[in-house]
């Protein structure tokens, strides 16, 4: 949930890996990595330049972020963390998206689940009135509800894509545990099936919402419901696999402080230990389920701590002969596209997502 920085609730390890943001120290002689007997790699301090591919807007956003001291401190109990998120972090970003893309937003209930219906102020684009997107916000399954997080991510899809977007306020921890969020999304999907053909429904989610999009597809299979026309998994993957390269070193490349697990904020857990083996929770570990996925877009960035999960999920989708497309932007951190409306690379990410749904919705035969 940080601008160019890893999301709240990440797993990390405290080692002195990176000193700042050229792969070679100023001496021009980098210290070679050391390999432990168990295969762990130890990397000495290095200096990494800001990617030369950044747009001027991205360079300014990156430097401005650190000049102002980063994100507001997310401290206190979960209620206080949510308050800070809504008022000091997501709220201002939401206002930027609203100024860029005028939309209408209606708070309502669908199948007993709170949702925000977001669509272009001038109406849904021609040719898309029979199509709809379900949007699932990020937030580590603990923050983002109440309309702010959902609207922040729904507006680009409505404004850029001309879609009607249903942002789902799915249940989170600590008030609820897995699979409550999946239950909520499936309930909304069932309701939409009364008005839309399944091949005309898309599901898009970022971070936790990206995981939830994959979990929803798995549950729809389990309940023998028709699959959606396409999904997009952004800044996430669908695998339960543990340590990955990105988990350990992408954080340092964003300027985030790398910490021991016991130093991380004590946030409530949405998943219980036994959930890690549930095929409906992490379908990328189960080829039979994955083989029935609709066309999928995996969208990530090279400094995202969840990049490893995203790459693994894409590879497994391809192994299962699923139409999976991979879009990875160089140099950006976790969920960058949701957080910097003024940066062209963020807009391009949403345009790629819109193009994915334009290619597939209304063209995929129902099961």
For residue 323, the domain's CATH number is 3.40.50.1820
Q: Is 29 inside any structural domain? A: no
Q: What is the dihedral of CA 344, 137, 255, 61, to 10 degrees?
A: 30
Q: Residue 207 falls within a domain, yes or no? A: yes
Looking at residue 227, what is its pLDDT?
98
What distances in angstroms separate CA 339 from CA 110, 155, 322, one per listed residue?
A: 27, 12, 30
Sheet holding 165-168, edge to edge: 103-110, 113-120, 165-168, 132-136, 201-206, 230-234, 296-303, 324-333
Site of tokens 């991205």: 58
Classify burial at 180, counting beta carbons within 10 Å of its beta carbon; exposed 0-12, middle 13-18, buried 19 or more: middle
Give Cα 310 distance to the centre of its chain.
Answer: 10
What does the pLDDT read at residue 10?
31
Would residue 322 count as lying in a domain? yes
169 within some domain: yes
Q: Give the position of tokens 């199509």.
A: 131
Give the Cβ contact number of residue 176 at 10 Å. Answer: 16
Q: How far apart are CA 276 and CA 240, in angstroms?
A: 6
Mean pLDDT by 10 residues, the chain (367 residues): 34 24 40 71 72 93 84 87 94 97 98 98 96 97 94 98 98 97 98 98 98 98 98 95 67 57 67 94 96 98 91 97 97 93 98 98 66
In a domain, 262, yes or no: yes
Cβ neighbors of 158 (< 8 A, separation 6 or more) are 101, 103, 118, 119, 120, 164, 165
200 secondary structure, DSSP code: G
> How far from chain centre, in Å, is Cα 296?
14
Residue 73 is predicted with a pLDDT of: 82
Is residue 236, in this structure, part of any structural domain at all?
A: yes
Instruction: Tell me, yes or no, whether 19 lies in a domain.
Output: no
Q: What CA–CA distances, in Å, run from 85 to 13, 96, 190?
A: 24, 15, 31
Q: Which has the closest alpha carbon to 346: 247, 250, 201, 206? A: 206
Number of structural domains the chain divides into? 1
Q: What residue numbers bound the domain in which 246 lies? A: 34-360
Distance, in Å, from the CA atom of 251 to the CA atom of 211, rounded to the nearest integer, reads 20
Instruction: Answer yes or no: is 8 within a domain.
Output: no
- Per the structure block, which two tokens stand in for 17? 């890996």
DSSP 303: E
């Amino acid at each position: 949930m940080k601008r160019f920085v890893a999301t709240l609730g990440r797993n990390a390890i405290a080692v002195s890996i990176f000193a700042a943001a050229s792969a070679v120290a100023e001496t021009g002689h980098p210290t070679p990595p050391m390999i432990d007997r168990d295969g762990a790699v130890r990397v000495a301090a290095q200096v990494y330049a800001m990617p030369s591919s950044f747009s001027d807007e991205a360079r300014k956003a990156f430097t401005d972020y650190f000049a102002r001291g980063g994100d507001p401190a997310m401290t206190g109990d979960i209620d206080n963390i949510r308050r800070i998120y809504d008022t000091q972090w997501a709220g201002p970003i939401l206002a930027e998206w609203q100024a860029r893309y005028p939309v209408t937003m209606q708070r309502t209930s669908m199948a007993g689940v709170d949702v925000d219906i977001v669509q272009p102020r001038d109406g849904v684009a021609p040719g898309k009135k029979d199509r709809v997107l379900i949007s699932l916000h990020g937030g580590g399954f603990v923050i983002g509800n109440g309309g702010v997080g959902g609207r922040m991510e729904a507006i680009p899809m409505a404004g850029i894509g001309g879609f009607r977007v249903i942002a789902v306020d799915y249940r989170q921890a600590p008030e609820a545990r897995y699979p409550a969020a999946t239950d909520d999304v499936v309930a909304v999907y069932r309701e939409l099936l009364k008005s839309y053909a399944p091949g005309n429904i898309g599901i898009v989610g970022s971070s936790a919402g990206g995981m939830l999009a994959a979990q929803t597809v798995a549950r729809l299979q389990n309940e023998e419901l028709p699959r959606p026309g396409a999904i997009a998994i952004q800044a996430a993957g669908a695998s339960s696999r543990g340590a990955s390269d990105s988990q350990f070193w992408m954080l340092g490349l964003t300027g985030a402080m790398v910490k021991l697990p016991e130093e991380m904020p004590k946030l409530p857990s949405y998943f219980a230990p036994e959930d890690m083996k549930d095929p409906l929770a992490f379908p990328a570990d189960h080829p039979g389920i994955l083989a029935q996925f609709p066309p999928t877009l995996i969208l990530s960035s090279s400094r995202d701590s969840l990049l490893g999960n995203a790459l693994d999920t894409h590879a497994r989708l391809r192994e299962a002969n699923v139409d999976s497309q991979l879009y990875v932007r160089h140099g950006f951190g976790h969920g960058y596209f949701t957080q910097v409306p003024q940066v062209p690379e963020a807009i391009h990410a949403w345009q790629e997502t819109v193009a994915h749904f334009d290619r597939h919705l209304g063209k995929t035969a129902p099961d």
